[in-house]
Structure 1
Amino acid sequence: MAGPLAHLKVLDLSRILAGPWAGQVLADFGAEVIKVERPGTGDDTRHWGPPYLKDSSGQDTAEAAYYLSANRGKKSITVDITRPEGQQLILELAKHCDVVLENYKVGGLKKYGLDYASVKAVNPGIIYCSITGFGQTGPYANRAGYDAMIQGMGGLMSLTGVPEGEPGAGPQKVGVAVADLMTGMYAVSGVLAAVIHRDRTGEGQQLDLALLDTQVAWLANQAQNYLTSGVSPQRQGTAHPNIVPYQAVPASDGYFMLAVGNDAQFQKFCAVAGLDTVAVDPAYATNNARVMARQKLVPVIEAATRKKPAAWWLEQLSAVHVPCGPINDLEQVFADPQVQARGMVVEQPHPTAGRVKTVRNPLEFSASPLAYDQPPPVLGEHTGEVLRSTLKLSEDEVKALNARGVI
């Protein structure tokens, strides 16, 4: 096996995105990830389409693109955890695992005897990562939580969108489920920290991770702006609250992103833009001054950038090391020579579609390179394999469980 986590085994009881995203990252890093799904239906996101993966004849398969995005590298088994035999199978699997991922409602697995206390009883060293909308404690603990509502509750939508008073003003949701994705990433780092702790002490533990906590935590500089000033930051479109100019600006044929990060870059931008008087004006000489003069300065910059097409600006500014970039749609993203040179698309054989493309993990390891040997699995693809190899069940025992509807 390849990857730095090839020694770890993960039991993934999660569905939708935050938990599965964490499981996929761990699988990318080499862990054996066993994804437990409901017989017959599986993870909800298998059906969150269109679009669906197509087979060689161009017909839709049962795999929605949404599901494919978060389940690469895993082994899928189907187990009915509402039945005592299914619960026993999960506990037996947990004995052989290092990590359990779950995102059931608080207390949701206790009635099945699969809560942390029950799993710890059979595997004291288990790292049991619980992901919920609001955490295991607090007045909202029993509420369900989904990404879009968390983006609103956690303040992100108050910072995202067109500023008040301008056409199209109002809160906007980010175009991908960032609260879920960031929670998944925090889950990965938490699991790895807990693995290190267990390796030093022999002690397992439960991780309590909430979508709302995560969203609040990664407000980052915007949260700190509020805590420092007592003033809630407002929506500023593509602009940055602490740096000017750092936003989308108009060209003669569209828009591009201008990201001036320091005073030297601003001087270089002004030289390219023909804004010599602006460059020497004390009112704009420092970033602090430019932030204070935002309303006056930005129209001057936009008037200059409208005179040339975006490609001209990107070429000229890049030549003098002023950060800038196009605003690409996804077709342009995946056609970009840098994205292609970095091999950001992984193509793998797939049992029903022939081939499937996914986006590779962005990390590269020099000593333990990642291998993408397992595509997102079809439902129950590995049930028999896992039960035979991990639990040492016989073929007849697996068939009997299947006949009784347990798997």
Structure 2
Amino acid sequence: MDRPLEGIRVLEVAQYTFVPAAGAVLADWGADIIKVEHAETGDPQRGLVRVLGYDANRAGSSFAPIMEGPNRSKRSIGIDLSVPEARPVLEELIRRSDVFLTNYLPGPRAKLGLTLEDVRAINPNIIYVTGSGFGSEGPDAASGAYDSTGFWARGGSAEGIMAPGADHVTFMPAGAYGDNIGGMTIAGGIAAAIAGRERTGEPSVVDVSLLGVAAWATQFTVNLALFTGGPLPKVQKTTQAAGNPLTGAYRTADDRWLQFSMLQPTRFWNEFVMLLGLDHLVDDPRFATMAGITENAETIVSWFADAIAARPYDEWTEIFQKLSGPWAPLQNSWELGHDQALVANGRIVDLVDADGESQQLVANPVKFDNAPVKMVRAPQFAEHTDEILQELGIDDENLIGLKIAGAVT
């Protein structure tokens, strides 16, 4: 069963990435996702042209990765939920869905008749899911957030990577960073709710907040601060374990980096120093114990650094294919997109865009029955409006009437 959610329909009334990313994961898992977009303006993310200093799309192409990633394999319907004539359409969609998924704030949900009570009055068995900034309870329940605020800043990650005395805040490593992590979390919550409803017959109300996802991601330091009774002291972060030169990052001759994490240094010592060309250190009695390595760690680090700095990145990545201890190259996004492990496991998927051009997208990390992900491009704005309305039994005359009223695209 490589598409375990086949036959599940999700009605997604959401925009940007956080909650739509959950819909994309569910679509990868086989669910039918109907994305509701405003009849005139669509998902505002379609209008983004610059993200973190990068162009979000390319002239002459309909393919915009920031839109494609969280919306692949969905169908899009354009509805103006504020128009009374649109209400019967919305209600029929709710009636035919297993999951209602939204990131609308409580105020707009109440205004548009999308509260839990409104939706359950139409379909008592529907699973009701919200992605929020700060949770469904508490003083900030009605406040919105982006991942840069609710996840990265307030959630502790930004402060956690700042060096002592830093004069600027380091920004997220990628656009929609917390959103995509949060979307995966929402998808997991929905899958659990579907399993629970199958077992008990009771539909769940699910809420996942960006702040909650951030606290989970940084829980080691959060838990440690709670345990010690106050803020943790600011320390100089390093990738190197104290006293262990076989951990940490080393720079190559061409200013690339390699990361090592051999937590049992005596086990890998001879193998590592031979690959570095430091054969004279093999079976050196000074470094036969952890205590000996720790005592001489500073000197050993300088030896290793000099050795690695003598060769370029490509040579070292070839040499270290023979290393049995844990290590990894520091890869950029292009290299990650071509990583042999991702490609071999079907986590980079080929598809065809709306222009007939071949493109690639990252698949969700969950793999079922060793099967490839069945993925198609994201829908164009309101692309499936007529198709979905006809599925609901709306004939051509009424469809035209809905369009004249401005209820649908």
Q: Which residue of 2 aligns with 1:152?
A: 153
Work out the CA distance in 1 between the residues paired with 2:321 and 2:227: 35
Q: Are 2:346 and 2:372, in contact at CA under 8 Å, matched by a contact in 1?
A: no
Work out the CA distance in 1 between the residues paired with 2:315 and 2:187: 42
Q: Which residue of 1 aligns with 2:380?
A: 378
SS at 1:108 equivalent: helix
Work out the CA distance in 2 between the residues paired with 1:385 and 1:164: 57
SS at 1:313 equivalent: helix
Pair 1:175-2:173 in alignment: yes
Work out the CA distance in 1 between the residues paired with 2:256 and 2:111: 55
SS at 2:100 equivalent: strand
Letter in 1 for 2:254: D
Please identify, of 15-24 and 244-253, the stretch whose mean Cα deviation from structure 2 is larger.
Answer: 244-253
Q: Which residue of 1 aligns with 2:201?
A: 202
Work out the CA distance in 2 between the residues paired with 1:116 and 1:42: 24
Letter in 1 for 2:365: P
TM-score normalized with structure 2 length:
0.85
Residue 45 and residue 225 in structure 1: after superposition, are their counterparts in 2 closer, same or farther (change >3 A)?
A: same
Alpha-carbon offset, residue 70 of structure 1? 0.9
Letter in 2 for 1:226: A
TM-score normalized with structure 1 length:
0.86
Please identify, of 265-274 and 208-217, the stretch whose mean Cα deviation from structure 2 is larger.
Answer: 265-274
Alpha-carbon offset, residue 266 of structure 1? 4.8
Residue 344 and residue 199 in structure 1: after superposition, are their counterparts in 2 closer, same or farther (change >3 A)?
A: closer
Work out the CA distance in 1 between the residues paired with 2:356 and 2:73: 16
Matches within 5 A, 1:82-161: 82-150=82-150, 151-161=152-162
Alpha-carbon offset, residue 144 of structure 1? 1.7
Q: Are 1:49 and 1:66, in contact at CA under 8 Å, matched by a contact in 2?
A: no
Work out the CA distance in 2 between the residues paired with 1:235 and 1:184: 32
Alpha-carbon offset, residue 135 of structure 1? 1.1
Work out the CA distance in 1 between the residues paired with 2:241 and 2:203: 42
SS at 1:384 equivalent: helix
Q: Are 1:68 and 1:376, in contact at CA under 8 Å, matched by a contact in 2?
A: yes
SS at 2:380 equivalent: coil
Q: Are 1:81 and 1:87, in contact at CA under 8 Å, matched by a contact in 2?
A: yes
Alpha-carbon offset, residue 243 of structure 1? 9.6
Residue 221 and residue 266 in structure 1: after superposition, are their counterparts in 2 closer, same or farther (change >3 A)?
A: farther
How many residues in Structure 1 have an aligned counterpart in Structure 2? 393
Work out the CA distance in 1 between the residues paired with 2:317 and 2:16: 39
Alpha-carbon offset, residue 202 of structure 1? 1.2
Q: Which residue of 2 aligns with 1:77?
A: 77
Alpha-carbon offset, residue 104 of structure 1? 1.1
Alpha-carbon offset, residue 210 of structure 1? 0.9
Q: Which residue of 2 aligns with 1:263?
A: 264
Residue 133 and residue 33 in structure 1: after superposition, are their counterparts in 2 closer, same or farther (change >3 A)?
A: same
Greater length-normalized contact order (CA 8 Å, ≥ 6 residues apart): 2
Alpha-carbon offset, residue 395 of structure 1? 1.8
Residues 26-48 of structure 1: per-residue CA shift (max 9 Å, x gap): 01111000000011221111111
Unaligned runs of 5+ residues in structure 1 are: none
Q: Which residue of 2 aligns with 1:24?
A: 24
Residue 80 and residue 158 in structure 1: after superposition, are their counterparts in 2 closer, same or farther (change >3 A)?
A: same
Residue 370 and residue 60 in structure 1: after superposition, are their counterparts in 2 closer, same or farther (change >3 A)?
A: closer
Work out the CA distance in 1 between the residues paired with 2:370 and 2:318: 37
Work out the CA distance in 1 between the residues paired with 2:24 and 2:133: 20
Residue 65 and residue 97 in structure 1: after superposition, are their counterparts in 2 closer, same or farther (change >3 A)?
A: same
Residues 134-181 of structure 1: per-residue CA shift (max 9 Å, x gap): 1111122222211111211111012225x325xx76431221233212
Work out the CA distance in 1 between the residues paired with 2:303 and 2:86: 67
Please identify, of 321-330 and 87-96, the stretch whose mean Cα deviation from structure 2 is larger.
Answer: 321-330
Work out the CA distance in 2 between the residues paired with 1:227 and 1:303: 41
SS at 2:34 equivalent: strand
